[in-house]
Each structure stands twice: as C-alpha cells, then as structure tokens.
Structure 1
Amino acid sequence: MNKAMTYHLAIKKLSLSLLLALTLSFAFAQVPNKPTPPRLVNDFTSTLESSQIDQLENRLVRFSDSTSNQILVVILGELNNAISATAYEIGQKWGVGDSRFNNGIVILIKPKTGNQKGEAFIATGYGLEGALPDAVCKRVVEYEMIPYFKQDDYAGGINAGLDVILPIAAGEYSHEQYTKGSGDGFFGAMLVLFLVVFFVIVMALKQVGNTTNISGKGKRGPSALDLLILGSMLSGGRGRSSGGFGSGGFGSGGGFGGGGFGGFGGGSFGGGGAGGSW
C-alpha cells in the first residue's frame, strides 16, 4: 500500500512538473525571439520610422556603453498575456541587463488600434527596482509618455520617458527629485499665472493714467521694456515648472558616438515596474 501511494505521489509530482514546464514554454512562445543581430529598439509593428528607430537605438547604445545599464524598447501589435507579464518574460528570455547587476529595463508598448486600447509598461530588473520604484515607473508612463502616445507621437513619448529614466538609472538624479520636481510644476504654473495677471493689471492702470493725461496724447501700448520684462518672467516660470529635470548627459540627439550594441548580458527580472493605458 505504501509503495503504491509513493508511486502515485511520484507520478502526480512528475505530471505537475511537466505541466508547469509546458505552461512556461507556452508563455515564452508568446514572446518574440531576440533579433539577430541584437538591438535595443525593436518595433514589430512598423509604428516608428527608420530614422526614429536609429535615433533611439543610438541613444540607448550610448547609455549602455556609459553605464552598463541596458534599456530595451519593444513595440508589439498584439498581446496574448497581460502586458506586465509579457514585459517580464521578454526581459527574462532575452536576458536584458548585466547578469552581475540585473540592471535591465524593458519598455513595452502596444499602440492603440481601432477599438483596442493602447498600453505601455516599464519593467525593471532586480538591480534597478530601488532606483525606479513602481510608483515612479507608473508616473513616467502616465505623465511623460502617454500624452505623446495619445497624439500618435510614439517616438516623442519614448524619448520623453527616457528623459526621466536615463538620468535616474545613471544616478544623476534620484526618483525623489523627479517626483518633487513634477509636483513643483503646479506651483510654477500658478506663479506664471500670477505674474501675467499682475502685469495685465499694471498695464491697465498705466493705460488709464495715459488716457487722463492733460496733454491728451496719452494712449500708448506697452513699451519694449515692458514686453522684455514679461518675456523674462514667463521664461523663468516655464523653467521652474519643469523642476529642472532633464535628460542629463544622455540627450535625445541622433549623433552616434560608438559602435553598435554588443548584446544582452543575461539579466533577471523579478516583478518590478508599472504601466498604464489610454
């Protein structure tokens, strides 16, 4: 009896193991294979123009060469699983990031088509989960990238996301500085509004004073100095609203400063990241 039960349990355990293996194989089958030669920007939908792909590829290769962090951009037309699971599977199967540091990032995008919603997700490797917490990834997707995606400007949205991700991943800024800078944008906008209203009131009072001038010649518009002052105030306000957060030393220019991408390093992913839809 004991032998029969032991045999039965062994068969059951083997069956479960085979089922799990088949499930994982099926899941990985839904993930596209790594291109040969490997690239950091992979558009399987022809959403991006070739010049946009080259610009993004060059930008990410420069970043990888400078920091060893690898950021992969993938655009898929169809998802057979949740976008988060697909992003993790791509990162794991392709081995994005250095195996010693697990410093890979996968930016997965499914464009909006017809009645199907668009989705985007940022998956972080183990080694970058602290630098880019889930809340920051979600904020980048929803506030930096999706506004461009809604206008069908996918290259612009990806670059806007990279403007935040690259300096944080490189240690030039902290995610706290990013969230604080984004929050300051509201107060910067309110400051600009206050200055504009104040300027309008001053000009209105000046206009009233001119119309009551005894000489009768008073009506005149704002002087060049007035306009210069207003322009200075507005430009200062706009700079404040951005929180001073930019792309650091990894700008969006298309110039290429090194060789091609050397390949992925075997990084691992454990579930960090977040996304959004539109």
Structure 2
Amino acid sequence: MKNILIFFVLISASLFSQDIPDPLKPPRMVNDFVGLLSNKQNNYLERKLVAFNDTNSTQIAIVIVKTLNGYDISDYAQRLAQKWGIGRKEYENGAVIIVKPKTANEKGEIDIDVGYGLEPIIPDITAKRIIENEMIPHFRQNDYFGGLDAATNIIIELAAGHFSAEEYQKRTKGGSPVGWLVPFIVLIIIISMINRKRGGTYSSRGSSLPFWLAMGMMSGMGSRHGGSFGNFSSGSGGFGGGGSFGGFGGGSFGGGGASGSW
C-alpha cells in the first residue's frame, strides 16, 4: 500500500512539472513562448539583462506564456522560478516576470516573483507598484515591449541599490512614473560596473563616468520608453556586443512578489 501511494505521488509530481515549461535552449533571460516580441525587442531586453547579470550577478528572467495551465499566476510564477533555479544559489537573487497576454476571451495577467535575497529590496508592495505603474499602462496600449523595458529598468535600479523601495514608492506616489531619468541612470550604473570590473576594482554602486560623457548620453536620449535605455540595443555606449548567458544559478523562491491583470 505504501509503495502504491509513493507511486501516485511521483506520478502527480511529474504531471505538475510538465505543466511548467522548461527554459529555452540555449538558455536565455528572455523566454518568449508566444512570439509576442519582435527579434529586435527580444534581443534588446536579452542584452540588457545579461549585462546586468554579468556585472551584478542578479538574474532577471522574462517569461511570456500562452496559458497558465489552470494555475493561479502567482503559483505558476513561483513553481517556474523554483524549477528553473533563477538567481545565484548563494545569494538567492533571482527575479522573474511572467506575462500571459490578453486575448479576446481572457484577461491579461502579470506576476513579478523575487527570490529570498531580493525580498527585502523589492517587497511585495513595490512589486505591485511596478506592475501598476510601469507595465499595465503600456500593456493596455498593446505595448508589451515598453512595459517590460520599463519594469526591468526599475528592478535593475533597485537591485543595484541606486534607490530604495521606499524612495520608489515616494517617486511614484499618485501613480506618476519615475520618468525618463530612470533608464538614463540605469545606463550609467551598468557602464560604471563594467568599467570597474575591467579595471579590477569592481563595485556594485556608484559611478565613475566623466561628467561630459554623462551629459552627452543625456542629450542623446530618445523616446521615453522602449529604446530609451541609451544605445544599448545597438551595442554602443560601452556595452559592446554583450556576452552570452550561461544559465540560471539554482536560486530559490518563497512566494515574494505581486501580480496584476488588465
């Protein structure tokens, strides 16, 4: 009887696992199982997230799925994040953004899940604010790329320690977004990280960019979202071509984060 019970438990676990997709091969930060993003948009986000992983070790994954297979999206996100092992095992510093696009018959759903190590940095209320301020306004206009770009910019700044969750809450009080300054600051942070790492004095905070370079990038800013992350997508502005992603690091998740719909 005991063996039969164990058998059914194992079968059930296997079936549940099949409901959650495996990451793409070769591994990527951006896993678009729907084909929602264009190749240019996909590669732009991939380069940005890989660059931040290379310099900060924080892994931010984007997963776009057609169906949640009957799961509540928060449960789905935690199961997927745990199965994939997003984040470094020793730091538990992973984050995943799950998007199920809106269809004619179903509402669109979003979830941001963060690993144990990021929970104090991106608490639930902050994850909720990112969804409501940075993502849903874009998604309602069918601008999925703009929402994902804006959300990842904020997560990068929070994880890099440029401002705290409390400061973000104050900046976005009343529903107004942080604005064009966010992607500009993110650009400075990542370029500074890369330069310090190459020079052997890597630090996750601060910027040693000359003032004239910072002003030059500011004057070259284009749109308010989408391509507003400097010249990242073209490989200029200090990023080069971007490295390849070697895979997730075995991080764990405990349910921290938030979800939303539109």
Shorter-chain TM range is: 0.7 to 0.9
CA distance in 2, matches of 1:171, 1:134: 17
CA distance in structure 2 between the partners assigned to 1:85 and 1:91 by the alignment: 10
Q: CA deviation at 1:170?
A: 1.4
The answer as to whether partners of 1:103 and 1:127 remain within 8 angstroms in 2 is yes
Residue type at the aligned position of 1:120: I
Residue identity opposite 2:51 in structure 1? R
Structure 2: which amino acid aligns with 1:180?
A: K
Larger Rg: 1
Give the 3 Å change call, closer, same or farther, for CA 114–243 of structure 1 in structure 2.
closer
> Please, which runs of 5 or more residues in structure 2 have no aligned partner?
191-228
Identity of aligned residues (%): 47
Q: Structure 1 pair 244/57, CA: closer, same or farther in 2 (3 Å)? A: closer
TM-superposed CA distance for 1:15, in Å, is 5.2
Compare 175-184 and 110-119 and name the one that shifted more: 175-184
Which residue among 225, 244, 254 is the counterpart of 1:260? Answer: 244
Q: Please show how residues 20-169 of structure 1 align to structure 2 within 5 Å.
A: 20-80=9-69, 81-169=71-159
| 2:116/2:254 contact within 8 Å kept | yes
Please tell me whether the aligned partners of residues 125 and 268 of structure 1 are also in contact (alpha carbons under 8 angstroms): yes
SS in 2 for 1:246: helix
Deviation at 1:41, TM superposition (A): 0.3
**What CA distance in whole angstroms lies between the structure 2 residues aligned with 1:75 and 1:244?**
25
Look up the SS of the partner of 2:112 in the other structure. Answer: strand
Matched-pair contact (CA < 8 Å) for 2:131–2:151: yes
Contact 2:84 2:248 in 1 (8 A): yes
| Pairwise CA distance, 1:75 | 0.3
Q: Deviations over 1:35-81 (max 9, x none)?
A: 21100001111110000000000000011011000000000011111
How is 1:102-251 mapped onto 2 (pairs within 5 angstroms)? Answer: 102-183=92-173, 242=178, 246-247=182-183, 248=186, 249-250=189-190, 251=229
Give deviations 1:57-112, integer Å, cap 9, x for gaps: 00000110110000000000111111111111111111111010111001000000
> Aligned-pair distance for 1:17?
4.5
Partner of 2:253: 269
Letter in 1 for 2:261: S
CA distance in 1, matches of 2:175, 2:62: 28
The runs of 5 or more residues in structure 1 that have no matched partner are: 1-10, 187-240
TM-score, structure 1 normalization: 0.72
In 2, Cα distance between equivalents of 1:183 and 1:117: 26
Question: What is the CA–CA distance in structure 2 between the aligned matches of 1:262 and 1:159, rounded to whole Å?
Answer: 22
The answer as to whether partners of 2:95 and 2:112 remain within 8 angstroms in 1 is yes
- Cα root mean square deviation, aligned: 2.0
Count of residues in Structure 1 that have an aligned counterpart in Structure 2: 213
CA deviation map 1:118-139 (0-9, x unaligned): 0000010111111011111111
CA displacement, residues 122-162 of structure 1 (integer Å, 9 cap, x when unaligned): 01011111101111111111121011011110000001111
Cα distance between partner residues in 2 of 1:35 and 1:78: 17
- The 1:50/1:92 distance shift into structure 2, 3 A limit, reads same
Residue type at the aligned position of 2:243: G
> What SS does the aligned partner of 2:142 have?
coil
Contact 1:180/1:243 (<8 A) preserved: no
- SS at structure 2 position matched to 1:138: helix
Displacement after TM superposition at 1:20 (Å)? 3.9
Q: Kindly tell me: are residues 59 and 112 of structure 1, through their superposed partners in 2, closer, same or farther at Cα, counting changes over 3 Å?
A: same
